[in-house]
Structure 1
Amino acid sequence: MDKYHVNWNYPTTIWVGPGRITELAEACQELNIRSPLIVTDPTVAALPLIDSAINPCHQVGLEVSIFSRIKGNPNEVNIADGVAKLHEHKCDGVIALGGGSALDAGKAIALMAGQQHSIWDFEDIGDNYRRVDPKGILPLIAIPTTAGTGSEVGRVSVITDERAQAKRLIFHPRMMPDIVILDAQLTMGLPPDLTAATGMDALSHNLESFYSPQYHPMAEGIALEGMRLIKEYLPRAYAIGAELEARQQMLVASCMGATAFQRGLGAIHALAHPLGALYDKHHGLLNAILMPYVLIANRPAIQVPMGHLALYLQLAGNDMFDSGFDAVLNWVLGLRKQVGIPHSLAEIGIDDTDADRVGKMASVEPSASTNPMRFNGIEYRDIFLRACEGSITL
């Protein structure tokens, strides 16, 4: 496993390799953090792995506090409570440890530590980020324990506005964690269903950024290789949860997906965000279920990139532009089945009652702006209905 012990500096400083959680104290010292607040979720807080983060810090005299009162879809109250805890213990930095919810919450808490505005004043609309006082942002270390969101290399936190029943993107360039630790040993206990949902989340990021119409060749190349890693390693991580190489490669693929979606996302996320806010379902699972229905809706605009993808993943022959789309779609459907993803939204308790509302919310969701095709509320409603029914029509 030594070949995986490398340091990367794109898009931020990334320490890669199994067992590198033991270097957390060094990361704190590098950032001059003496009293870190570990932001995690209740499940991780109760696991032995939390000690692997705390013990190295205690050994060098760091005063560590823990905050874990966050929901699966963190809201503004969770963030306010975390900031209050941070001030109570006079913390001078944040360690975000866990899955996407913990990473998003940790990033938002580090942002809000020294701000006077409401968190909603920093929603990713126009130049709202200019309202942030950069001096009030604390140094931040991010340590993912799932291979899915890639939030550890993002400048955005997804926070649920429960009053409006909407997910909002909070953005500032300085929200990018200063140091990331990708340690596969921390993901070894992840159960198969979460391995599948988070892995498909990583696929959705790589896939949507790959066929985004925005010009960003670097992101396009990263997304392509990210999907190759997922094709090879997600089934292995799902079937053999203790395989360290598969776990490490999936962490890398997740990180690549979030790096690539600087190029933009699309209709999968435009639908998943309102569904997550309305039904409080796992984001990665929603993306996984929605994926083939959105692919089919986008087909007229993505034939060429799907041809390239099919060729790169060795899914199709020389007639890639004729058969490439079908090859990719069949691969996605097969992968979902292989890792136990439900075929329809109905199977996870979502019906068509709010179809019109979902369609309208999706059409104005920020991710919709970089989808290869511009869908209106009715068209998004129709995609949602097909996903509810499990109707695949080519």
Structure 2
Amino acid sequence: MTACGYLWGVPAPTRLAPVAVPAVVEWCRSRRLRRPMLVGGRSLTATPHGLGIVHGLEAEGLAVWAFDRAASPSLVAVADAVAGYSFENCDCVIAIGGGVAMEVARAAALMTAQRSPYRELAAEPGAEGKPVDASGIPALLAVPATPAAALAVGAAAWIADDAGIARPIRHPALRPGEAILAADLIAAVPSAVGERSAALAALIAADAGVPDPELAGLLADAAAAADPMRAALGLAAAVEGAGGPRRRIALTAAVASGADFAATMAALAAPASWLDGVRARLGPPPGDAPPPD
């Protein structure tokens, strides 16, 4: 049975917020959740803004567990997050930051409720393999900070398994209960990182078969950060419903050899005139700023 049969096009409810902390606190309190696990990369605890979010949530009475080791979309990172979630007795998962954080958070939420290993789970409802147990998957909130992260908000998780092969698992229960676009979080991302993330999102969307006219918003200037973020959220369903062969290869290469995911995607991109500008923007992130998580 194909993913189209499960309406992957239904978007996660999304709202705009000027500041991340009050919006996250409101989401937790409305669901009576008190022990969130924040999933992000090193920017979550290595930058003043990231630490400010963690301390701000704690000041509001939330018992926050900050998992800042979402460095690659691999089962090693997912297993580490699941162990922390259980040990700290968390009651929800909040993905905050870049695209890898979204993937790891969604897979970690999934695996907290499974008895079968990731590699044995069915790729989607009705496919071969052990069915996903959706009954115990914790509440999930997505707070994306880059276009690539917004593109990763949906009902599919792409994780490299223990054989180093990236594979998706698609299930309606993996869709976050809500996505929040926080202006202060987006503004804190360095311009070069934001542009690089927008280019990466455009490459992934193109590989999934999204037509060129729909990609224009992803390549908007970093000054108009909200535009590529909204465009990425709008394209997410089309991307998660497609196979994305280059995405699979690039994720596998990044996890297995430590290569850069964005650079690998650029190298694998089919020649097209509109990609010239995208490739030019896929330079390394500035040395004084963490790469997108």
Say if 2:157 is the partner of 1:138: no
Structure 2: gaps of 5 or more residues: 1-8, 285-293
Instruction: List per-residue Cα deviations over 1:280-322 (Å, max 9, x = no partner).
Output: 223233223332xx24xxxxxxxxxxxxxxxxxxxxxxxxxxx
What is the CA deviation profile of residues 229-249 of structure 1, one whole-angstrom value per residue up to 9, with x for unaligned ones?
134x1xx21xxxxx3xx1121
Deviation, 1:153, is 2.1
Structure 1 residue runs of 5 or longer lacking an equivalent are: 1-8, 212-219, 238-242, 296-328, 343-394
CA 129–11 in structure 1, closer or farther in 2 if over 3 Å, else same: farther
1:249 matches 2:227: yes
Q: Provide the rounded CA distance (Å) in 1 between the counterparts of 2:118 and 2:282.
A: 37
User: Which residue of structure 2 lines up, in the alignment, with residue 178 of structure 1?
Assistant: 177
Determine helix, strand or coil for the equivalent of 1:12: coil
Corresponding residue number in structure 2 for 1:229 = 217
1:212-223 equivalences under 5 Å are none
Shift of 1:152: 4.6
What whole-Å deviation, never above 9, does each CA across 1:105-156 have from its counterpart, x for those lacking one? Answer: 1111111112211122225266257622212200011111222143552222
Task: After TM superposition, give the deviation of residue 92 of structure 1 in Å.
Answer: 0.7
Quote how far apart the aligned CAs of 1:41 are.
1.3
SS across alignment from 2:32: coil
Aligned mates of 2:41, 2:130 — CA distance in 1: 30
What is the alpha-carbon distance in structure 1 between the residues aligned to residue 159 and residue 100 of structure 2? 9
TM-score by length of 2: 0.81
Q: Does 1:82 align with 2:81?
A: yes
User: Distance in 1 between the 2:134 and 2:113 partners?
Assistant: 9
Aligned to 2:200: 201
Matches of residues 283-302 of structure 1 in structure 2 within 5 Å?
283-291=261-269, 294-295=270-271
Residue 334 in structure 1 maps to residue 277 in structure 2: yes
In 1, the alpha carbon distance for the partners of 2:69 and 2:235 equals 28
Query: Is this contact kept in 2: 1:201–1:287, CA < 8 A?
Result: yes
Change (3 A) 1:267 1:156: closer
Larger helix percent: 1
Could you tell me which amino acid in structure 1 is paired with residue 34 of structure 2? R
In 1, Cα distance between the equivalents of 2:16 and 2:267?
30
Q: Partner residue of 1:281?
A: 259
Q: Which secondary structure state, in structure 2, belongs to the residue aligned with residue 131 of structure 1?
A: coil
Question: Is contact 2:73–2:255 with CA below 8 Å preserved after alignment?
Answer: no
Further displaced range: 33-42 or 280-289: 280-289
Alpha-carbon separation, structure 1, partners of 2:152 and 2:166:
19
- Structure 1 length-normalised TM: 0.62
CA distance in structure 2 between the partners assigned to 1:332 and 1:152 by the alignment? 21
Residue pair 2:151, 2:201 contacting (<8 A) in 1 also: no
Equivalent residue, structure 1, for 2:12: 12
Aligned residue for 1:63, secondary structure, equals: coil
Higher relative contact order (CA 8 A, sep 6+): 2
The CA RMSD over aligned residues, in Å, is 2.8
> How far apart in 1 are the matches of 2:202 and 2:173?
26
Q: Which residue of 1 aligns with 2:92?
A: 93
Q: Could you say which residue in structure 1 is the equivalent of 2:44?
A: 44
Query: Does structure 1 conserve the Cα–Cα contact (< 8 Å) formed by 2:205 and 2:239?
Result: yes
- Alignment check: 8 A CA contact 2:20 2:53 kept: no
Runs of 4+ with >6 A deviation: none
C-alpha contact (below 8 Å) 2:154/2:237 kept by paired residues? yes
Shift in alpha-carbon separation, 1:153–1:186, aligned structure 2, 3 A: same
- Deviations 1:166-219 (CA, angstroms, capped at 9, x unpaired): 2222332201111111124213343455333311121123323445xxxxxxxx
What is the distance in 1 between the residues matched to 2:56 and 2:27? 11
Which structure has the bigger radius of gyration?
1
Counterpart residue number, 2:118: 119
Pairwise CA distance, 1:21: 4.1
